[in-house]
Structure 1
Amino acid sequence: MSTEPDLSTPESTPRKSFPLLLVLVPLVLLVLTVGGALVLARFGNPLTLMPLVTVTDPQLAQLSPNVLKSRAAKARTTLERVRPQGLYIVVDTYRNRLRLVEDGKVVREALCSTGTGIVLIDPRNKRKWVFDTPLGERIIERKQKNPVWMKPDWAFIEEGEEPPPPGSPDRVDPYSLGDYGLYMGDGYIIHGTLFKSLLGRRVTHGCIRLGDEDLEYLYHHVPIGTRVYLY
C-alpha cells in the first residue's frame, strides 16, 4: 500500500499557503520591475555610466589658428628630420613582414619568416643559443649570390648529432640559404628557404627567410650599406 499522501484531497494542501503567496508575489513583481528597467536601459535607451566631458586646455584654446598651423609645420619638419631617408628595409617580426621603403614610400612588401625564440642548450657543456631575430638597427654589410652555409655547432646539436671538427666538409651546406644572401653581421642573413610553405611564421634560428622572387628583388635593388630596421 502506498504511504504517499493523496494530493487531490483538501487535507493534503498546506493551510498556511496564503501568507507565502503574499511574500512571493511582491518579490516576483520587484524582480520583473527591476529586470525590465535594466533591460530597457541596456537595450532600449543608452545606459550612461559616466557622462562624456570634453576637457580643453585653456592655453591651446587661446592660440590663434596661425600659431597652431606654425606648430604643426614645425612638428612635420621634426618628423621628416628623424625619419630615415633614401632606401631602407623594415622588418616586422610580429607580423612576419618585410618592407622595402624609399623616401617613406613602400616599394616592396614581402612575407617572411623570423626567429622562433627557442632556447637550445648543448648537453655536453650547457652552452646556450637563443634563436631570436635581433631587434634594432643593422646594415647590409655584404651580398652573396649562391651563398654557402657553414653549419655551426647548434645545427648538429639540434639534430642530436656530434658536431664535426671546424672546417669539416660536413659543415658545408650549399642549398639551405637559397640563391641569394644579404648579410647583416653576427651571422644574421636575409636569405631564401627550402620551406616556402612556412613563410609568415616564426620558424627560423634568427635569420630572415624570403621567397625566391622577393629575395631576388632585394638582392638586385638593395645596395651594400642599406639600413635595416627590425622591430
Structure 2
Amino acid sequence: MMVFTIRFAIAIVILICLQTCVLWGQEHGESNELRYGVYHKLPHHSKYSKRGEIVVTLSRAVAEYSNSGDVLSINDFENADKANNDPYYLIKLVDEKNPENVMESFTKMCLLKASKFEDEIIIHLNRNKVFHFDYYTSADQCNSTFISTSQTADFKTIVQIIKAGSGTRPKLNRALPINPDGTVEKPPEEKSFLQKYWWYLLPIVILLLTGGPAEEPQQQQQQQHRGGGQAARPARQ
C-alpha cells in the first residue's frame, strides 16, 4: 500500500510538471522577432518598391531599421512635383511571415523633402503583435526652396516601439439570470480552496495517514527478537 501511494503521488507530480511545461511553451514558444518589409512609392509610380526592413525584438521592445532595398532618385521627386499638385509619399509595412498583413500610411512629399528625408516610424505593439504604425517627418512645414546635394533620397530613419497599456476597466454589474416563472436564479456558491484543489492535497494526506503505522510491525519484531534471546539464555547455577 505504501509503495502504491508513493507511485501515485509521483505520477501526480509528473503530470502537473508536464502541464506546466506545456503552458509555458505555449506562452514563450513564439518567435522573439518580427520582420517587416518597408515599401514605398510616389504617385506616378505603378507599384511599390522595397525600401528597407524592420526587425522588432519583442523581448527588449526595440526595433532596428536597415536600408536594404531600392532607392528613389531626386529626379523621381521632381517629376512627381511636376505631374501632381501637392503629391503624397506612400509607405507601407508588410509582414514577411504573413504577406497578407499590410499596414499603409502616407505624408506630403514636400514635408519629406523639407526634412531632408529624416523620418520616423512608430510601431504600436499589442500582445507581441503589430497592429498599427505612425509615420512622421522631422519637418512640419513645407519648404519650397529644397536643395539636395545628393542624387538619391537618402533616408535617415528612426524606429520606435510603443506598447499598448491596460486602461482602467469599468466596474459593471452582471445581470442575474431569470427563471421561466419570473424569479431570479441564484448564482452558484463560490467554492472554497479545499473544494477547488482537494485532489492536489489528497496524495499528501494519504502519505501522512499511511506513512506512520508502517514502522510498528518492524519495532514489534525487534522487541520479540530481543525477548526471545533473553529467554533462551541458560540460568546461572
**What is the TM-score of this pair, normalised by structure 1?**
0.22
Structure with bigger RCO (C-alpha 8 Å, 6+ apart):
1
User: Which one has a bigger Cα radius of gyration?
Assistant: 2
With normalisation by structure 2, the TM-score equals 0.22
